[in-house]
Amino acid sequence: MPLPLLTAGVGIGAVALLHFRDPHVEGAYGVCPVYALTGMYCPGCGGMRSVHNLTDGRIVDALHSNLIAVPLLFGLALWVGAWAVRAWRGQRLVLPRIERSTMWILLALIAVYCVFRNTPWGGWLTPV
C-alpha cells in the first residue's frame, strides 16, 4: 500500500508546485532543451503551463497550452487512484493493455500534433 500512496503524494506535490510556482514566468523552471536547440515546440512543451492553468480552473487555457497534457494528467490520476484502491483491497497492480495498432495510432497522432503545432496553421496550439 505505501507505493501507491507515495506515487499519489508525489503527483499531488508536483501539481501543487506547479500551482504555486507559475511556469508562465520566464526561467521559472528553465528552458525546454528541444525548444532551446531547435526553436520548435516538442509534444511536451507547455505541459507545465497546462497543469498550472488547470489548477487555476482555466480549462481552455490548459488545453491551449498543451492539448495532450490534460487528458494524460486525468488518465494518470485515474490509474493511480485505481492502483491505490486495488492495493487497499490487497490486489495486485494491473497495467493497462494497449493493442499494438492503438499504440502506433497514438504515436502517429502525437507526431502529427508535434509537426502541426510548429506550422503557421497550428499557431493556436503553441503554449500560452
DSSP characters for the chain?
-HHHHHHHHHHHHHHHHHHHS-TTSTTSS---HHHHHHSS--TTTTHHHHHHHHHTT-HHHHHHH-TTHHHHHHHHHHHHHHHHHHHHTTPPP-PPP--HHHHHHHHHHHHHHHHHTTSGGGGGGS--
Domain count of the chain? Answer: 1
Residue 127, judged by CB atoms within 10 A of its CB (0-12, 13-18, 19+), counts as: buried
Q: Buried b / exposed e across 65-88, counting CB within 10 Å, b at 16+?
A: bbbbbbeebeeeeeebeebbeebe
- The mean per-residue pLDDT over the stretch 38-57 comes to 92
- Supply the pLDDT for residue 124: 84
- Domain range for 24: 2-125
Tell me which of 82-86, 90-94, 105-109 is least confident: 90-94
- The mean per-residue pLDDT over the stretch 123-127 comes to 83
- Supply the pLDDT for residue 105: 96
- Supply the pLDDT for residue 5: 85
pTM for this prediction: 0.83
Q: Is the pLDDT of residue 1 over 70?
A: no
- The mean per-residue pLDDT over the stretch 83-96 comes to 86
What percentage of the chain exceeds 90 in pLDDT? 55
